[in-house]
Amino acid sequence: MKRIFLICAIALSGAFVINAQNRLIVDADQGKETISKHIYGHFSEHLGHCIYGGIWVGENSTIPNTRGIRNDVVKALKDLQIPNLRWPGGCFADEYHWMDGIGPRDKRPKMINTHWGGVVEDNSFGTHEFLDLCEQLGCEPYISGNLGSGSVEEMSKWVEYITFDGESPMANLRKQNGREKPWKVKFWGVGNESWGCGGNMTAETYSDQYRRYATYCRDYGNNRLYKIACGASDFDYNWTETVIKNIGNRMNGLSLHYYTVPKSWQDKGSATQFDEAEYFTTIQKTLRMNELLTQHSTIMDRYDPQKRIGLITDEWGVWYNVEPGTNPGFLYQQNTLRDAIVAALNFNIFNAHCDRVKMANIAQIVNVLQSVILTDNEKMVLTPTYWAFYLYKVHQDATLLPVNLTCGKYGVQNATPPAFEPPAGFPGGRQQGGQIDVISASASKDASGKIHITLVNVDPSKAQTLETELRGATVKKITGKALTSAKLQDFNSFDNPETVGVKEFKDFKLQNGKISVNLPSKSVVLLEIE
């Protein structure tokens, strides 16, 4: 039987859609891999108003707080069930000396934040405050240690201060500062971006430094460190090859950083003022995460075929020009429906690679880059990206279900072909020349047996009908939620905080054991199937 393709060219925008039958097959009884909850992690750096004003306001603030930490932000993040939080950086981590941030706050030394705006850092938010925040959130801490400007002794003592339950100078100092029992801190980064702001090292030099520093990051009591080595930036496959070859099983995880930059690093583009062509480029660049995870994983497989070492994508997200009139060193940007779609596409990709990807951290959690929350003094707003996390939390620690997706294409004329093609049957995100899959999908089964399917329609103007077949399961009940808005450029402001949000979704029908779903244009949809 011949397939008939209808090509619809939109001359003014240069966009086009190639229509084909959209079909999704979910093998509901064949899941093997677990989607680690830590894929849905977050990142907080001493940068702009992420910590100060975004998370920390101090005990004397008129903004409701618990021991100086904003109550509204904590509640919003708990509703996302965030699994982990990375701190204190980022580039800031490799100029941060942890002993400056303990003890009485009025006696803590001040420093200059040379990376981010040249502002004074008063160290009022330090180790105790961060770990208090994690306890309030019910999430696991992920601490980035200072390998760039710090010493082996300094990092070693930080681990001892936090995790040792016994008699030692560091444990006694912790007790003097008000914490009798040690904390549990599993995730430990040994340096950050050592190829750049963390020391401008070669891969060989960093490998040697990692082995030295990590030797003295010890396990105390029943606290077992999960040591994360500094991995590559973007497409630097040589860094991955060199580091995993030289460090090997001395690490538990290897990081990867990739930012979606719509235009160029000199002019990244506006967060809110963009046309369809720039939207398409943003999505196309986002989907290159497929290439990165596949290629870096292939290198890791040669040295670690059992996949004991996790690939840790601990900085990802969209990076735009800062909002007009704001400090360029504070990286404050708005957040539109486009960003929710970017987040959802990344989640589907991370889920598909969950055999190797064990953690991911969006940059960043509040007021910086692709944040889930924005604050302005006592005001707080939840961004479209927040609502993408809200929909996708159902995948945390669920079993990944194999899917096979065939769908139409969306694109623009004269787009640059990508350098990489994911394999046939990959769950969305394939690119062919100036075209991308119009739909992306991911599916999982939770501990109670419920099946969750997350779907993205990247087409900004046309709904898509998706015929879905669940193999190995009987459908009794379906409910849905959707995230969309009138325009891609829509965002939530302090004056209009609910422009973009999640609503009940009912535009589906079950017939002869198959589900027909009508996906709105530019939307993210969650189906829960019992």
Q: Cis peptide leading into 364, omega within 30 of 0?
A: yes
Strands 439-445 and 451-457: antiparallel
Structure tokens at 521: 């244009």
User: Is the pLDDT score of 163 beyond 80?
Assistant: yes
Mean pLDDT of 43-71: 97
Mean residue pLDDT of the chain comes to 92
4 — pLDDT class (breaks 50, 70, 90): very low
pLDDT digits (tens, 9 = 90+) for 460-512: 999 999 999 999 998 999 999 999 999 999 999 999 999 999 999 999 999 88
pLDDT digits (tens, 9 = 90+) for 234-282: 999 999 999 999 999 999 999 999 999 998 999 999 999 999 999 999 9
Question: Could you give the CA distance from residue 292 to residue 285 in angstroms, rounded to a whole number?
Answer: 11
Letter string b/e over residues 190-219, b meaning 16 or more CB atoms within 10 A of that residue's CB: bbbbbbebbbebebeebbebbbebbeebee
Where on the phi/psi map is residue 200: left (φ > 0), alpha (ψ -120 to 50), or beta?
left
434 — pLDDT class (breaks 50, 70, 90): confident
Structure tokens at 102: 């303990």
Q: What is the pLDDT of residue 2?
A: 33
> Which of these, 146, 304, 165, lies nearest to 217 by C-alpha position?
146
Bridge-partner residues for 120, per DSSP? 112
- Class of domain 6-32+402-529 (CATH, top level): mainly beta
467 is catalytic: no
Supply the DSSP symbol for 469: E
> Which listed residue (95, 121, 140, 193) is catalytic?
193
Q: What is the pLDDT of residue 16?
A: 58
Mean pLDDT of 143-172: 97
pLDDT digits (tens, 9 = 90+) for 395-428: 999 999 999 999 999 987 765 544 444 444 444 4
pLDDT digits (tens, 9 = 90+) for 319-356: 999 999 999 999 999 999 999 999 999 999 999 999 99
> Which listed residue (129, 315, 421, 530) is catalytic?
315
193 is catalytic: yes
Residue 373 half-sphere exposure toward CB, CA atoms < 13 A: 28
| CA distances (Å), origin 528, targets 83, 107, 420, 482 | 21, 53, 33, 12
37-400 topology per CATH: TIM Barrel (3.20.20)
Q: What is the pLDDT of residue 12?
A: 36
Q: What is the pLDDT of residue 414?
A: 61
pLDDT digits (tens, 9 = 90+) for 194-222: 999 999 999 999 999 999 999 999 999 99
| CA distances (Å), origin 237, targets 1, 24, 234 | 43, 33, 8
Q: What is the pLDDT of residue 18?
A: 61
Domain definitions of the chain by residue range: 6-32+402-529, 37-400
Per the CB < 8 A criterion, the answer to whether 404 and 411 are in contact is: no
Report the 10 Å Cβ neighbour count for 187.
23
User: Is the pLDDT score of 132 beyond 50?
Assistant: yes
Q: What is the pLDDT of residue 15?
A: 61
Q: What is the pLDDT of residue 20?
A: 61
User: Is the pLDDT score of 86 beyond 90?
Assistant: yes
User: Is the pLDDT score of 429 beyond 70?
Assistant: no
Q: What is the pLDDT of residue 5?
A: 31
